[in-house]
Amino acid sequence: MADAAPAHGAPRRITITAEPFTRTIDGVEFGWKVHHHDDGTYTVTIEPGDFICYYEPWDGYEYDT
C-alpha cells in the first residue's frame, strides 16, 4: 500500500463546513434534509430516497445506509 500513497504525502483530515438544503424539482425533493427528533437529536438524510443518514457525533464515521 505504501506505493499507493500520493506523491505529495499522506492524506490528512481537514474540517469542512456544509449547509443542509432542499430543493423541489418536478415534485421531487432533493438535498440534505435535517430531521429533529423528539429525543433532541438531529439527523441529516440525503434525499430523495432516505438511503444515507448521518447523525452525531458528526465526525464522518457514523452513518446508516
The pTM is what?
0.57
SS3 content of the chain, % helix, strand, coil (to 5): 5, 40, 55
The Cα angle at residue 18 between residues 54 and 53, in degrees rounded to 5 = 15
CA distance 3 to 15: 27
Mind listing the pLDDT tens digit for each residue in 8-65?
778 888 887 878 999 999 999 999 989 899 999 888 888 998 677 777 777 767 777 6
| pLDDT score at 38 | 96
Order of strands, sheet of 28-36, starting from the edge strand that comes earlier in the sequence: 21-25, 28-36, 42-47, 53-55, 63-64
